[in-house]
Amino acid sequence: MTSGVADRLPSVLIANRGEIACRVIRTARRLGMRTIAVYSEADANAPHVAMAHEAYLIGPAPARESYLVADKILDVAKASGAACIHPGYGFLSENADFSDLCARNGIVFVGPPASAIRAMGLKDAAKALVEKADVPVVPGYHGATQDGAFLANEAARIGYPVLIKAVAGGGGKGMKRVENEGAFAAALESAQREARSAFGDARVLVEKYVLSPRHIEIQIFADAHGNVVHLFERDCSLQRRHQKVIEEAPAPGMPPEVRAAMGKAAVEAARAVGYVGAGTVEFIADGRGGLTPEGFFFMEMNTRLQVEHPVTEAITALDLVELQFRVAAGEKLPFAQGDLKIDGHAVEARVYAEDPENGFLPSTGKLWALRLPGGDGIRVDSGVAEGGEVTPFYDPMIAKVIAHAGTRDEALAKLAAALGETVVAGPKSNVAFLKALCEADGFREGKFDTGFIERNLEKLGAVKQPLDAIAVCEGALALIDDEWERENSYRHSRAPGESLDSPWWSNVDGFQLAGRRRHGMSLVVDGERTAADVEWLREGPVVSFKDAQATFDDRFWTNSDHNFPRIPDGVIVLRNGRQTTVSLFDPFSVDIDEADGDAVLKSPMHGKLVALFVEKDQPVKKGDRVAIVEAMKMEHVLTAPRDGVVSEIAAQAGQQIAQGAKIAVVHGE
């Protein structure tokens, strides 16, 4: 394709952040376009800001005060002379009012018409629309009535299990699977609260939950000249909490006739709303007997680019962002359906700052080390850098790692190897979990559905793991090494005659006429106090912890920079995709709240306390709901860890709270 986009669209404002902003900027710059970034106060030093030709501050960290404020975005677009706005995904990408606002101000919106966004933006209306185009939909209630009792009756009519889904938005927010009538009311309340917070719209629909579901989506593209094609399918069935974890293209076990039927249904859905640009039509398929032309149902249409679009780019050799710009500039699609072919197989893994061993809770903080893989057939899309911060304000994605090869087995092996080379230190990450998932037997064999991860959490290492004793030993050695470095620096810098106050490990060889020396070493490992044993030999120290032992050998010294990123109060030891934080015990850092034996409920992350279900002096039973903390637009329920009485309430509903902040105290009976 020859480049003429920059003649018609010489500049673009990217109304987004993170990896998608970086990804759009790369293509726009290649096409010769001037790139304009926007950023919040939290993103002042973000990579997308540095990559763009120009960048403008648009407000405080919370998205509702910056990236979601359409007027601020438009003001920057007009001040900078932007010819078009690319919304990326999330934020304003599916906001029809924003699309209209751009049009009224003579700025091209790189996306579908506002009419198409409105038609597909609400799941209930979209299902009614595509039904008229003979596209199959999941049985359920898609009407306007939102009364709780009415919806409960509809759920009973449909038959459990059912799925409550927010009418607006996506990404698993406002979505709850309900197994029985007794759980419906609480699930509805939570879904509505999440939907209101994430999308400003609390309305939901109720659908039959398809057993052994496969989540398969079709990438479509349309121009303003009536041409609509599909770019084949992606399988997004590996999910947790309805959020995609690994995506691949093409879908395993996809017969040609089913691909043709799904592709035709997706194209018809796009035609039904006069679609223009990139979009994705999502289907749920009954995977119990293999994929069949009669066994799939329309779920929704995403009127934007998808996070997982790189796997489609890999198997088609197309740049979807470039196609978006070309269509927005008025060009025709440069190919017909018959021109498109599938080349090999591609798999994408989403590397997140989250803790798989602790319910996949989001993890925040400074990235003390970040090393992303490379090599033939490996692509990495990222929007963060080493030394940057993962904040509680946005989606905690660190990177997308994509592998492309001739076959599915080769692509999965290549992805697993790439994840094995990936280093993330600071916030917890899901790297080890993703690698285990790529190597899991059922997934490798193509025997999986959307419940695969939940059924295999233990096998995938996504449960609390034993403390890594070798990591503790190596961390202790690293701390000793650091102390030696400080000691040597002090020896050379002190004034003549100045005394040298030295800790017990400052004698480098540790040799005594009496022979070996042993000392206990007080440590804090992953927040818990413990102790290791240090034995000083003529060759150097040996650290023992539980049944593990480590000494200074060639491997330790050779890999010390790679495996042991230093943090202000200690060291992070990276082993097998997991990280263990080791520091010297500070006797003045004892948590007084824990000392009296009460159960102190603390926030597991930075977020908002959206609900508090208890009062002071109220009796509670183990497992009772105490509070709900919202972070990354998802709700996390805190329950009473024991029977007892609430002796203290330390926070109020609606309050922003920090990770580790005390919420309530339960006094044991």
pLDDT tens readout for residues 192-212: 999 998 888 999 999 988 888
Task: State whether residue 131 is helix, strand or coil.
Answer: helix
Run of H or E residues at 190? helix 184-199
Asked if residue 545 lies in contact with residue 472, where contact means CB atoms within 8 angstroms, the answer is yes
Q: What confidence category does residue 127 fall into, taking pLDDT thresholds of 50, 70 and 90?
A: confident
pLDDT of residue 511: 37
pLDDT in tens, 510-550: 334 344 578 889 999 998 889 999 998 877 789 999 999 98
pLDDT of residue 21: 98
Taking the C-alpha atoms of residue 566 and residue 386, their distance in angstroms, rounded to an integer, is 13
Taking the C-alpha atoms of residue 419 and residue 350, their distance in angstroms, rounded to an integer, is 10
Task: State whether residue 430 is helix, strand or coil.
Answer: coil
Neighbours of 303 (CB within 10 A): 27
pLDDT in tens, 32-50: 999 999 999 999 999 999 9
CB hemisphere CA count around 498 (13 angstroms): 10
Taking the C-alpha atoms of residue 54 and residue 58, their distance in angstroms, rounded to an integer, is 13
Residue 459 clears pLDDT 60, i.e. is over it: yes
Class of domain 5-110: alpha beta
Class of domain 469-490+507-588: alpha beta
pLDDT in tens, 302-314: 999 999 999 999 9
Q: Which two tokens stand for residue 183?
A: 């759980």
Taking the C-alpha atoms of residue 310 and residue 319, their distance in angstroms, rounded to an integer, is 9
DSSP strands (E only) in 27-169 = 34-40, 54-59, 84-86, 108-109, 140-141, 162-166
Question: Which strands make up the sheet holding 570-575, listed edge to edge?
Answer: 548-551, 540-545, 528-537, 517-525, 578-584, 570-575, 566-567
Q: Indicate the DSSP class of residue 634.
A: E
Topology of the domain comprising 139-208: Dna Ligase; domain 1 (3.30.1490)
Of 406, 73, 428, nearest in space to 250 by CA: 406
The domain locations on the chain are 5-110, 139-208, 469-490+507-588, 591-668
Class of domain 591-668: mainly beta
Taking the C-alpha atoms of residue 431 and residue 397, their distance in angstroms, rounded to an integer, is 12
Residue 146 clears pLDDT 90, i.e. is over it: yes
Of 34, 214, 259, 304, catalytic: 304
Of 590, 589, 584, 588, nearest in space to 569 by CA: 584
pLDDT of residue 228: 98
Of 39, 80, 46, nearest in space to 63 by CA: 39
pLDDT in tens, 76-119: 999 999 999 999 999 999 999 999 999 999 999 999 999 999 99
Q: What confidence category does residue 553 fall into, taking pLDDT thresholds of 50, 70 and 90?
A: low
Rounded to two decimals, what is the model's pTM?
A: 0.81
Residue 159 clears pLDDT 80, i.e. is over it: yes
pLDDT in tens, 395-442: 999 999 999 999 999 999 999 999 999 999 999 999 999 999 999 999
Residue 317 clears pLDDT 50, i.e. is over it: yes
Of 408, 451, 403, 454, nearest in space to 433 by CA: 454
Taking the C-alpha atoms of residue 510 and residue 139, their distance in angstroms, rounded to an integer, is 74
Residue 382 clears pLDDT 90, i.e. is over it: yes
Taking the C-alpha atoms of residue 520 and residue 510, their distance in angstroms, rounded to an integer, is 14
Q: Any idea which of 91-100, 292-301, 404-413, 600-609 has the lowest mean pLDDT?
A: 600-609
Taking the C-alpha atoms of residue 566 and residue 619, their distance in angstroms, rounded to an integer, is 45
Q: Which two tokens stand for residue 603?
A: 């926030």
pLDDT in tens, 206-245: 998 888 899 999 999 999 999 999 999 999 999 998 889 9
Of 376, 397, 529, nearest in space to 467 by CA: 529
What contacts 320, CB < 8 A, 6 or more positions away? 219, 221, 231, 278, 305, 309, 312, 313
Q: How far apart are the first and last CA of the chain?
A: 74
Q: For residues 158-174, b (16+ Cβ closer than 10 Å) or e, as one string? A: beeebbbbbbbbbbbbb
Phi, psi of 649 (to 5 degrees): -115, 120
pLDDT of residue 54: 98
Residue 304 designated active-site: yes
Question: In a 10 Å sphere around its CB, with 0-12 CB exposed, 13-18 middle and 19+ buried, how is residue 89 labelled?
Answer: middle
What is the pLDDT of the chain when averaged over all its residues? 89
Residue 51 is which amino acid? Answer: M
Task: State whether residue 443 is helix, strand or coil.
Answer: helix
Taking the C-alpha atoms of residue 149 and residue 154, their distance in angstroms, rounded to an integer, is 9
Torsion of CA 455, 460, 463, 469, to 10 degrees: 160
Taking the C-alpha atoms of residue 573 and residue 578, their distance in angstroms, rounded to an integer, is 8
pLDDT of residue 489: 58
The stretch 164-169 carries a mean pLDDT of 86
Asked if residue 413 lies in contact with residue 392, where contact means CB atoms within 8 angstroms, the answer is no
Name all contacts of 635-642 with Cβ < 8 Å and 24+ positions apart.
635/190, 635/193, 635/194, 635/610, 636/359, 636/361, 636/604, 636/605, 636/607, 638/601, 638/603, 638/604, 638/663, 640/599, 640/601, 640/666, 641/599, 641/601, 641/666, 642/599, 642/666, 642/668
Of 573, 605, 17, nearest in space to 364 by CA: 605
Q: In Å, what is the CA distance from 190 to each residue of 173, 181, 185, 332, 511? A: 10, 15, 9, 45, 64
Q: For residues 606-645, b (16+ Cβ closer than 10 Å) or e, as one string? A: bbbbbbbbbeeeeebeeeeebbbbbbbbbbbebebeeebe
